[in-house]
């Protein structure tokens, strides 16, 4: 069977389709449970062709996380612009949506997945990831009406990721946590974070 010659435009479209399909799968079933085979099958290409775009699954996941950042910011802005929501309700709804990625289309890394990504990143790639991460969390603070500074961005990043990761980790990766109180723990953490954000906003 003769090889198909793809133009750069064709390759760009296929690459974009892979990222969109991968994000949908990862948000619905988790990054760890999403296989490369599922991703390339969703787009209708071969495994070999997939790897001409992304050398490893970890490289693909990083690109997908970058792709969803503008979507997260747009979602935050949409909530803040909703006249039917008060500020606190909008912010709480944002974090609940992030914790329930399957419903909101947001992919969240588990602790194990973070370790895998970290091992894969080059020093330059790590710096790029940190830069993009800081821009994302800075942008979220701005959507919430808060003027960000580095200290607030760093703390907001860590607290937000802690909330997301811990909820995803109970009980599988954190078996000594009490699973029956997982949702109450999440509610407490979100409310404590929003209390702090309200002081920055004021």
pLDDT class of 168 with cuts at 50, 70, 90? confident
Can you give the pLDDT at residue 156? 98
CA 12 to chain CA mean position, Å: 22
The closest alpha carbon to 58, from 6, 127, 129, belongs to 129
pTM: 0.90
Tokens coding 123: 């020093």
Residue 99 lies in a domain: yes
State how far the Cα of 192 lies from the Cα of 36, in Å rounded to an integer: 38
pLDDT of residue 18: 98
Q: Cα separation of 119 and 117, whole Å? A: 5
Q: What confidence score (pLDDT) does residue 1 get?
A: 40
Q: Is residue 153 part of a domain?
A: yes
User: What range defines the domain where residue 84 resides?
Assistant: 57-201
Angle at 34 between CA 21 and CA 12, to 5 degrees: 30
Is residue 191, in this structure, part of any structural domain at all? yes
The continuous run of DSSP H or E covering 180 comes out as none
Does any domain span residue 68? yes
Q: Please tell me the total number of residues recorded for the chain in this structure.
A: 202
64-83 pLDDT per residue, tens:
999 999 999 999 999 999 99
> Does residue 92 lie within any of the structural domains?
yes
Residue-wise pLDDT for 131-163, tens only, equals 999 999 999 999 999 999 999 999 999 999 999
Residue 188 maps to a domain? yes
200: pLDDT strictly greater than 50: yes
Residues 192 and 33: their CA atoms lie apart, in Å, by: 31
Across 82-99, average pLDDT: 96
The whole-number pLDDT of residue 3 equals 52
Tokens found for residue 139 = 């942008």
User: SS3 for 23?
Assistant: helix
Total number of domains constituting the chain = 1
Better pLDDT: 28 or 199: 199
Does the residue 174 lie in any domain?
A: yes
Q: Is residue 20 part of a domain?
A: no
Alpha helices in the chain (DSSP H): 8-29, 36-43, 47-50, 57-80, 87-99, 101-104, 111-120, 123-143, 150-169, 182-201
Q: Are 144 and 85 in contact (CB under 8 A)?
A: no
Whether the pLDDT of residue 99 is over 70: the answer is yes
* Nearest of 32, 124, 171, 49 to residue 18 by alpha carbon: 49
Of 24-38, 62-76, 107-121, the range with the highest mean pLDDT is: 62-76
Predicted pLDDT at 172: 85
Averaged pLDDT, 2-16:
84
Q: What is the CATH number of the domain that holds 119?
A: 1.10.357
């Amino acid at each position: 069977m003769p090889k198909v010659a793809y133009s750069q435009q064709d390759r760009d479209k296929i690459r974009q389709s892979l990222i969109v399909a991968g994000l949908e799968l990862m948000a619905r079933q988790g990054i760890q449970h999403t296989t490369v085979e599922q991703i390339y099958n969703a787009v209708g290409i071969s495994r070999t062709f997939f790897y001409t775009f992304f050398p490893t699954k970890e490289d693909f996941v990083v690109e997908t996380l970058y792709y969803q950042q503008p979507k997260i910011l747009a979602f935050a802005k949409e909530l803040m612009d909703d006249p039917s929501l008060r500020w606190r309700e909008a912010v709480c709804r944002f974090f609940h949506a992030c914790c329930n990625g399957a419903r909101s289309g947001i992919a969240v890394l588990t602790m194990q997945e973070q370790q895998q990504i970290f091992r894969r990143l080059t020093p330059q790639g790590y710096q790029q990831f940190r830069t993009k991460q800081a821009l994302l969390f800075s942008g979220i603070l701005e959507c919430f009406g808060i003027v960000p500074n580095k200290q607030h961005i760093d703390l907001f990043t860590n607290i937000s990721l802690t909330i997301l990761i811990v909820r995803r980790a109970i009980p599988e990766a954190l078996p000594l946590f009490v699973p029956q109180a997982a949702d109450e723990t999440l509610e407490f953490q979100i409310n404590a974070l929003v209390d702090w954000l309200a002081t920055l906003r004021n």
